[in-house]
Homo-oligomer: A and B are copies of this chain.
Amino acid sequence: MAGITIKEIAKRCGVGVSTVSRALNDHSDINPETKKRIMAVIEETGYIPNNSARNLKRIDAKCIAVLVKGITNPFFSPMIEVVEQATEEKGYALVLRHVEAYEDEVDVALELEKEKRLRGIIFMGGSAMHSADKIKKLNVPVVFATIGSDISDNLSRNSYSTVSVDDALESRKMVEYLIGLGHKKIAILTEGNDNPSVVQQRLQGYLQALKDNGIEPNEKLIRFVDRRIYSMRNGYDTTRALIKSGEKFTAIYCISDVLAIGALRALADAGLRVPQDVSVAGFDGQEMADFCIPRLTTIKQPLDEISKETMRLIFDIIEGESHHRHIVFPGELIVGESTKEIR
């Protein structure tokens, strides 16, 4: 039957509920003997405390939440491992929550904060910076990981932190590298999405690089994937359409590695060789970039450092040892086998 409670345990042990509670929560002032006895009964009955009830009472739940937007995205996996370890080391509990595409991550955070008495919140992914006053409603420190601060208005910069690369800058770096190889007709695969996001930043970097090098952007080479930028299928379909359009290009720059993998396949299917006929570049530096054939040239985000810094920062803020900051890490241009000098 679904309902064995702390009261039941107390009765069976012939003690009061508070004693059981103390045993459960590793309180100091309890006779080791009684504790042992109680734990034995708990084990035996398979009693499990009700978390809802606990959260309701508990005032000091050392707990932080990580909200990840987009469950289909393996991009965040390595970061999450770091987060888990760091929270454990600090003796904090971790609530890991995936936010669906249609959900507003800040709303979810608001709800979770009430429910779990959070001490801090980390956002990963999510396209925009939302209304700043909504974020301000969160009464605990907020850190955005892999989302730069340029995206938001400057006024509210001190109400949250960010740890990321400079997406526009890194994107420009990649396009400049391609230009340096002699490419002028550089297509870009990006997402058609108006709200400020890393996606927008990367597109801006592309445009800036062209401009700085006196290359007129060609609208027909700026291709927007249907929805998600973390879909190989989207990369494939969009590249195919690009090829079919007949517009000439010597390189394709994809704003995610996942898109790039789709692009590689589409090019192969069209009988185009990479990098001999077309150069392909990605962005993110995910593990898979290193296992492609050919290996993908990409911008590697230092996810490990970003994650570690995120954790350091949020705990510092929680403990009052730091105020909000905006930290930028450099990305690394990884030259793979998918790009080549043009003659």
Q: Which residues of A contact B (CB under 8 A)?
A: 1-2, 46, 48-53, 55-56, 71-72, 74, 77, 80-81, 84, 96, 98, 100, 110-111, 113-116, 137, 139, 232-233, 236, 261-262, 264-265, 268, 287-288, 290-293
Query: In the complex, what residues of B have CB within 8 A of residue A48's CB?
Result: 110-111, 114
Q: Quick check: A2 and B52 within 8 Å, CB to CB?
A: no
- What would be 21 A-B contacts, judged by CB atoms less than 8 Å apart? A1-B139, A48-B110, A48-B114, A50-B115, A51-B52, A51-B111, A51-B115, A52-B52, A52-B56, A52-B114, A71-B80, A71-B96, A72-B74, A74-B74, A84-B100, A233-B287, A236-B291, A265-B290, A265-B293, A288-B288, A292-B293
| Minimum distance in angstroms from A5 CB to a CB of chain B | 10
A137, closest chain B residue (CB): B46
| Minimum distance in angstroms from A114 CB to a CB of chain B | 5
Query: In the complex, what residues of B have CB within 8 A of residue A55's CB?
Result: 52
Q: How far is the CA of A137 from the CA of B48 in the complex (A)?
A: 11
Query: In the complex, what residues of B have CB within 8 A of residue A72's CB?
Result: 74, 77, 81
Say whether chain A's binding surface is mostly helix, strand, loop, or mixed: helix
Q: Quick check: A50 and B100 within 8 Å, CB to CB?
A: no
Q: How far is the CA of A114 from the CA of B96 in the complex (A)?
A: 19
Q: Quick check: B51 and A53 within 8 Å, CB to CB?
A: no
Q: Quick check: A114 and B264 within 8 Å, CB to CB?
A: no
Query: In the complex, what residues of B have CB within 8 A of residue A52's CB?
Result: 51-53, 55-56, 114-116
Q: How far is the CA of A167 from the CA of B8 in the complex (A)?
A: 44
Q: How far is the CA of A112 from the CA of B241 in the complex (A)?
A: 47
Provided the pairs A52-B55, A114-B49 are in contact, do residues A265 and B291 lie with their beta carbons within 8 angstroms?
Answer: yes
| Minimum distance in angstroms from A225 CB to a CB of chain B | 15
Q: How far is the CA of A293 from the CA of B236 in the complex (A)?
A: 13
| Minimum distance in angstroms from A267 CB to a CB of chain B | 10
A68, closest chain B residue (CB): B71
Query: In the complex, what residues of B have CB within 8 A of residue A50's CB?
Result: 56, 114-115
| Minimum distance in angstroms from A107 CB to a CB of chain B | 8
Q: How far is the CA of A74 from the CA of B258 in the complex (A)?
A: 13
Q: Quick check: A261 and B291 within 8 Å, CB to CB?
A: yes
Q: How far is the CA of A46 from the CA of B51 in the complex (A)?
A: 25
A133, closest chain B residue (CB): B46
Query: In the complex, what residues of B have CB within 8 A of residue A290's CB?
Result: 265
Q: How far is the CA of A288 from the CA of B233 in the complex (A)?
A: 9
A118, closest chain B residue (CB): B2
| Minimum distance in angstroms from A307 CB to a CB of chain B | 14
Q: How far is the CA of A189 from the CA of B80 in the complex (A)?
A: 27
A294, closest chain B residue (CB): B293
| Minimum distance in angstroms from A136 CB to a CB of chain B | 10
A113, closest chain B residue (CB): B2
Q: How far is the CA of A2 from the CA of B117 in the complex (A)?
A: 9
Query: In the complex, what residues of B have CB within 8 A of residue A287's CB?
Result: 232-233
Query: In the complex, what residues of B have CB within 8 A of residue A265's CB?
Result: 290-293
Q: Which of B80, B115, B137, B264 contacts A293 (CB 8 A)?
A: B264
Q: Quick check: B291 and A232 within 8 Å, CB to CB?
A: yes
| Minimum distance in angstroms from A278 CB to a CB of chain B | 14
Query: In the complex, what residues of B have CB within 8 A of residue A293's CB?
Result: 264-265, 268, 292-293
Q: How far is the CA of A100 from the CA of B139 in the complex (A)?
A: 29
